[in-house]
Amino acid sequence: MKFLVINGPNLNLLGVREPDIYGKEDYAALCSLINATAEELGVSVEIYQSNHEGDIVDKIQRAMGRADGIVINPAAYTHTSIAILDALKAVALPTVEVHLSDIHSREPFRNVSITGNAALKIIHGFGFKGYRQAMIYLKEQIEK
């Protein structure tokens, strides 16, 4: 089973600023957790990060026939990107959306997830651990 984990804009800056919201650990630590979870679950994983909407759309399109499921944190594009939503719907791969912070208890513009309309589930507010939860849930759904 192969998972694609996609991280959107500015997540590469983790650990640099806003530790009160996103935690103190850096992006490399997040990738380590994702890789360790993949090993624990016996799945293979590709991790992709981009600051560019179109690149994320291209990556989702290329996942068709190559990945069994997607975990995505579209970051700020969560709240704006119909293009990413359409790409996720087009490839129709089981998808779980994850957010480090609790998007419902922040600014009103973060309360709505456009991309989440293509997700089986949205996990938010659990920090890095949310990625592990997302991968476990995704595997369960694919095996169903």
Question: What are the C-alpha distances in Å from 30 to residues 4, 22, 33, 77, 129?
Answer: 14, 11, 5, 19, 9
Closest contact distance (angstroms) between CB of 129 and ligand CA2 is 12
Residue at 69: amino acid letter: G
Distance CA 86, CA 136 (A): 25
Q: Is 63 in the site for ligand CA2 (CB under 6 A)?
A: no
Integer Cα distance of 96 and 116 in angstroms: 8
Cα–Cα nearest to 127, from 12, 20, 55, 45: 20
Q: How far is the CB of 16 from ligand CA2 (least distance, A)?
A: 5
- String marking each residue 13-42 x if it binds ligand CA2 according to CB under 6 A: xx-xxx---x--------------------
Number of residues that bind ligand CA2 (CB under 6 A): 17
What track of x and - describes contact with ligand CA2 for positions 78 through 97 (by CB under 6 A)?
Answer: x-------------------
Q: What residue ranges bind ligand CA2 (CB under 6 A)? A: 10-11, 13-14, 16-18, 22, 73, 75-76, 78, 99-101, 103, 110
